Chains A and B, each alone.
Chain A
Amino acid sequence: MEETKQKSRVKMSEQEPLTRAKNFMEVPYGYTPEEAVKEASRCLSCLRPRCRNGCPVSVDIPSFIKLIKEGKFIEAAWKIKEENALPAVCGRVCPQETQCESLCILGKKGEQIAVGNLEKFVADYERGKGEVRVPEKPKPTGRKVAVIGSGPGGLTCAADLIKSGHQVTLFEALHKPGGVLVYGIPEFRLPKVIVEKEVEYIKSLGVEVVLNAVIGNLYSVDELLGEHGYDACFIATGAGLPVFLGIPGENLNGVYSANEFLTRANLMKAYLFPEYDTPIKKGKRVAVFGGGNVAMDSARVALRLGAQKVFLIYRRSEEEMPARRAERSHAHEEGVEFIMLTSPVRLIDDGKGNVCGVECLKMELGEPDQSGRRKPVPIKGSEFQIEIDVAIPAIGTRSNPLLTKTMPDLRLDRRGYIVADHETGMTSKEGIFAGGDIITGSATVILAMGAGRKAAQAINEYLKWKFWDTRKFVT
């Protein structure tokens, strides 16, 4: 009996699939304290724990799990916060199964320890208790840093810098702080009140948050470093421009980039239309193209807006999908229809400028491509059509030139991303650091946070010595 209990993790209770597919409330309820202790007790407290190596920000996972075992939940939350300023966010959106959990030794004989669920539990517990600890104010250094973009990378960097005693201003182009955490990730996966709390927390540390500030247009980075007196600047503006499929009919009405669809629904609260002013097409039959988390989010938002049918169309097979396992299974349970090994070839016009269907081609898997995944190859003559009234390409983004085009002296790569050292975020221009999607292209929340953290450390060093090694940028 004890043996079997050890093998499988404590399940997190959640809303029933058919109920939750009609509301925007968070899907899992989270662990109770008893459940958390029970799950934490499965941890073997390995002598040489491997989980920590899988974490991009090196959270001390064994220690925080041990604290949970002992019932010290608040202390566990603080332990995580030593390395990760946003545990409530990461517990929900990190791809733990490919990071920390993938290295857990328990996985050899059963299920790995549920690091993500435990992280979510302690962060929520701390918030619920209202015992969010504000660290003592450090001695001011007299240095000023501008952080551009308030997504996970910017928030992390700002939090770390303020703790080092610098004066920090966080600039956000939109009317709400949080970046992708607010416009991209839906309420049912990451309640917005959590992001608000995290932002309040970094404000309580002393970070000044300036909204509606499109840097490049409103102030140039040179102006920030010059007349505004900033000593350094961290660019974390995210990925930006949505990529479309490049097929006929993509500009028909009813075709949304995933960014637009999610922004309308999440940031602008179009699901509450007409109480909120922003409209969104509530499709009856919706097709989402792509296999990542953003595709899953789009499909599940479409369901919640009242779609009768949501098709998730992906050109590879489900095994190759980059989406988190939890998102895939949630989408399945809620009734999203997965159409795998299928690629759209054109979107069909109803004669009035609206999309009314999609023509697709069946694919088969051929030889592995550059990504190591087997390349999908079209099957001749396999065309078929699906009737739809909303289409959502969710196939990634490319670099946003809004800020970078105002900085001709900043080195960019071929695709327009900022060239920066991955360990420090240092760019080709003195005093300017960059990290997250604007240097790597679309990635994850935790990787952006990792970049924010590394940049904060490098900025600290730079502000001590004001030394800029540009040798690595000389070609």
Chain B
Amino acid sequence: MFRIVKKQELSDMVTLFEIEAKTIARKAKAGNFFVLRINEQGERIPLTIADFDTLRGTITTVFQKVGKTTHHLGMLNEGDYISDVIGPLGAPSHIENFGKIVCVGGGVGIAPVFPIARALREAGNKVISIIGARSKDLIFWEDNMRSVSDELIVVTDDGSYGKKAVVTVPLDEILREQKDVARVIAIGPAIMMKFVCVTTEKHNVKTIVSLNSIMVDATGMCGACRVEVGGETKFACVDGPEFDGHKVDFALLMSRQRMYPEEEKLSFERFKKIAGVQ
């Protein structure tokens, strides 16, 4: 059993948990993820490790309430327990001094970009960060991101905060003006990562994306998370989650993410009835 030691509502739909998991915190690295299962009936879902504190023995995650499991998770409070927490999983980010880096975080993708930006900065890189979301209330961790970036750009789709733009607009500007960007790291919804890759491909800048496919065991055993990278099938859980974005088949990723529309709806409707969620 793993205790939730801190809960913070970052917006109506986005929640932060700090979970006590001493051994995972000790081993976690930027780019890792973990899997949790709320209770005996629960499914195993992968979530990003947004931060980790070796001294307190905690890991931090940020999730958006979209379906049954994430809504259920969002109803848990500080002091509550989660049945299973498994990690750290996935290969950590490749960190070295590349020179100049642009980190792009979209929506809840801002959270996992943070430790990567921090590690890259600590390795001596100049870090420019772009964070974006649909609207103001979905932007979080602006201060955190500012603290690990040499420059931070905030955008919203509707212009309710920062610049009114999608993340690819400032990204395109930067890549046009600054020819010394060594690589781009992008984490967010699949559609955002796809357009980031379209943009960076024009400028021929290597781009790393972190793929959030459906997983079950997340240790390579089941293959639920398979993605195509450079025409080859890869398992996001053990071969990734980070891949060269220019080689990723995003259409397939998005199609596979939508494998269970009816089941997800059924499960969520049932949960809403039981839990009295609006």
Binds B, one of A36-44, A53-61, A257-265: A257-265
A251 touches B256 (CB 8 A): yes
| Measured CA separation A173–B84 after assembly (Å) | 11
In the complex, B69 has a CB within 8 A of chain A: yes
Given contacts A251-B233, A268-B43, A277-B69, contact A214 B263 (CB under 8 A): no
Chain A positions within 8 Å of B252 at CB level = 251, 353
Asked, given contacts A212-B85, A251-B256, A253-B255, whether A274 binds B219 with beta carbons under 8 Å apart, the answer is: no
* Inter-subunit contact A173/B222 (CB<8 Å): no
Closest A residue to B215 by beta carbon equals A260
Determine if B87 and A276 form an interchain contact, defined as CB atoms under 8 angstroms apart: no
Q: Given the known A-B contacts A214-B89, A241-B220, A251-B226, are A276 and B41 also in contact in the complex, defined by CB atoms under 8 Å?
A: yes
A47 on interface, CB distance cutoff 8 Å = no
- How distant is the Cα of A256 from the Cα of B221 in the complex, in angstroms? 12
Check B267–A277 contact: CB distance below 8 A. yes
Q: Which of A219, A241, A250, A277 contacts B43 (CB 8 A)?
A: A277
Docked complex: B157-182 residues within 8 A CB-CB of A? none
Residues in A neighbouring B41, C-beta threshold 8 A = 269, 275-277
Most chain A beta-carbon neighbours within 10 Å: one of B37, B88, B220, B258: B220
Contacting residue for B222 out of A217, A260, A275, CB 8 A: A260
Among candidates B37, B89, B223, residue contacting A217 with C-beta atoms closer than 8 Å: B89
Task: Output the least CB separation between B27 and chain A (Å).
Answer: 6
**B-facing residues in A210-224 (Cβ within 8 Å):** 211-212, 214, 217-219
Task: Produce 1/0 per residue, B199-235, CB < 8 A to A.
Answer: 0000000000000000011011111101110000101
Q: Is chain A's interface secondary structure helix, strand, loop, or mixed overall?
A: loop
Closest to A282 in B: B263
With contact pairs A175-B84, A217-B27, A268-B44 given, residues A241 and B37 touching in the complex (Cβ less than 8 Å): no
Q: How far is the CB of B238 from chain A (nearest CB, A)?
A: 6
Q: Once bound together, how far apart are the Cα atoms of A400 and B258, in whole Å? A: 27
Q: Which of A212, A254, A268 contacts B216 (CB 8 A)?
A: A268
A11 to B235, CA, bound (A): 46
Our pick among B43, B69, B219, B260 for the contact of A400 (Cβ within 8 Å) is B219
Assess whether B55 is interfacial by the CB under 8 Å rule: no
Please, which residues of chain B bring their CB within 8 A of the CB of A268? Answer: 43-44, 216
Are the C-beta atoms of A279 and B260 separated by less than 8 Å?
A: yes
Partner of A214, one of B44, B219, B233, B258: B219
How far, in angstroms, from A354 to B228 measured CA to CA in the complex?
16
- B84, B227, B264: which has the most chain A beta carbons within 10 Å? B84
Point out the residues of chain B lying under 8 angstroms from A219, CB to CB: 23, 27
Task: Note all chain A residues with C-beta closer than 8 A to B191.
Answer: none
The CB with the most chain B CB atoms within 10 A, among A173, A238, A256, A277, is that of A277
What residue in chain A is nearest B84 (Cβ atoms)?
A: A175
Contact at A277–B42, with CB atoms within 8 Å? yes
Whether the Cβ atoms of B68 and A241 lie closer than 8 Å is: no
Residues from chain B with Cβ under 8 Å of A240 in the complex? 220-221
Q: Digitize B31-54: 1 where CB-to-A-CB distance is under 8 Å, 0 elsewhere.
A: 000000100011110000000000
A233 to nearest B CB, angstroms?
A: 17
Residue B66 CB within 8 A of the other chain: no
Please name the residue on chain A nearest to B83 by beta carbon: A175
Task: Report if B266 contacts A (CB, 8 A).
Answer: yes
Kindly provide the distance from the CB of A377 to the nearest chain B CB, expressed in whole angstroms: 27
Question: For residue A263, which residues in chain B have a CB less than 8 angstroms away from its CB?
Answer: 216-217, 221-222
Chain A residues positioned under 8 Å from B224 (CB to CB): 256, 260
User: B266, A274: Cβ atoms under 8 Å?
Assistant: yes
Interface residues of A, CB < 8 Å — how many? 40
Shortest beta-carbon distance, B246 to chain A, in Å? 19
Tell yes or no: B270 within 8 A of A by CB.
yes
Chain A CB count within 10 A is highest, among B68, B260, B263, for B263
Q: Provide the bound-state CA to CA distance between A211 and B85, in Å.
A: 10
CB neighbours of B69 from chain A (8 A): 277
CB of B24 within 8 Å of the partner chain: yes
**0/1 interface trace, chain B 9-43, chain A, CB 8 Å (1 if under):** 00000000000000110010000000001000111
Inside 8 A of B44's CB, which chain A residues have their CB?
A: 175, 268, 278
Q: Is B138 an interface residue (CB 8 A)?
A: no
In the complex, A335 has a CB within 8 A of chain B = no
In this complex, the member of B69, B224, B252, B256 whose beta carbon has the largest number of chain A beta carbons within 10 angstroms is B224
Q: Which residues of A are found within 8 Å of B227, using beta-carbon distances?
A: 251
CA distance A242 to B227 in the complex (A): 14
A241 touches B223 (CB 8 A): yes
Interfacial chain A residues near B83, Cβ < 8 Å:
175
Contact bitstring B83-96, A, C-beta under 8 A = 1, else 0: 11111110000000
Rounded to whole angstroms, the CA-CA distance of A447 and B44 in the bound complex is 30
Nearest A residue to B39 via CB reads A277
In the complex where A175-B37, A260-B222, A353-B255 touch, is A274 in contact with B84 (Cβ < 8 A)? no
Whether A242 pairs with B255 at a CB distance below 8 angstroms is: no
Complex CA gap A180/B233 in Å reads 24
Residue of B nearest to A272 (CB): B41
Report whether B86 and A278 are in contact in the complex, using a CB–CB cutoff of 8 Å.
no
Bound: A278/B216 CA distance, A: 9
CB distance from B242 to the nearest CB of A (A): 16
Q: Cα distance A401–B227 when bound, in Å?
A: 18
Task: Decide: A257 near B223, CB < 8 A? Known: A214-B89, A251-B256.
Answer: yes
| Chain A, residue nearest B69 (CB) | A277
**Chain B residues near A462 (CB-CB < 8 A):** none
* In contact, B43 and A214 (Cβ under 8 angstroms): no
The interface residues of chain A lying within 8 Å CB-to-CB of B219 are: 173, 214, 400, 402
What residues on B are CB-neighbors of A241 within 8 Å? 220-221, 223, 235, 238
State the Cβ distance, A473 to closest chain B Cβ, in Å.
Answer: 26
A257 vs B217: C-alpha distance when bound (angstroms): 13
User: What's the least CB distance linking A283 to chain B, in Å?
Assistant: 13
| A244 at interface, CB cutoff 8 A | yes
Using Cβ atoms and an 8 Å threshold, which residues of chain B touch A238?
221
Which partner residue on chain A sits nearest B90 by CB separation? A217
Task: List chain A residues, Cβ under 8 A from B85.
Answer: 212
Among A217, A242, A275, A353, max chain B CB count under 10 A is at A217
B interface list, Cβ under 8 A from A: 23-24, 27, 37, 41-44, 68-69, 83-89, 216-217, 219-224, 226-228, 233, 235, 238, 252, 255-256, 258-260, 263-264, 266-267, 270
Shortest beta-carbon contacts, A-B, top 10:
A279-B263, A353-B255, A260-B222, A277-B43, A175-B84, A257-B223, A278-B43, A253-B259, A212-B86, A279-B260
**7 A-B residue pairs with CB within 8 Å:** A173-B217, A211-B84, A214-B89, A259-B221, A278-B44, A400-B221, A402-B219
Known: A260-B216, A400-B220. 5 other contacts (CB 8 A): A214-B89, A244-B223, A259-B223, A273-B267, A274-B270
